[in-house]
Amino acid sequence: MSFTEEEKKKALQLYDETGSIAKVIHNLGYPSRQNMYTWIKNRNIEKKHKEYSFTNSPNHRIHPSLETKLEILHRCFEEGEDIKSISEEYGYSRTSIYSW
């Protein structure tokens, strides 16, 4: 059986309020436990994905300047900032930072 987006949204909202899959199924009469687990998992995956722009603009170039590289490397390896957060801030992968 397939469910509408509105039914999924209602079930997930009730789950957020109660914190219980059993209560959702009891109150709404749907879905199955497996459906709820799948909806919760997929919702969490969608929330984690960020939109990244891979354009070669003056603010973010495919090949960054030496100054940009040095600034990033300084923050990561001399100041000890988290490489993951720096890579997300500047838009360059952690692999690129390590290769510099």
DSSP 25-71: HHHH----HHHHHHHHHHHHHHHH---------SSS-SS--HHHHHH
**Furthest CA-CA distance within the chain:** 61
Annotated domain spans of the chain = 5-42, 66-99
List pLDDT tens digits, range 30-81: 999 999 999 988 886 655 545 555 556 666 677 888 999 999 999 999 888 8
In angstroms, the CA 6 to CA 12 distance is: 10
pLDDT value, residue 29 = 93
pTM over 0.85? The answer is no
In this model, does residue 88 exceed pLDDT 90? no
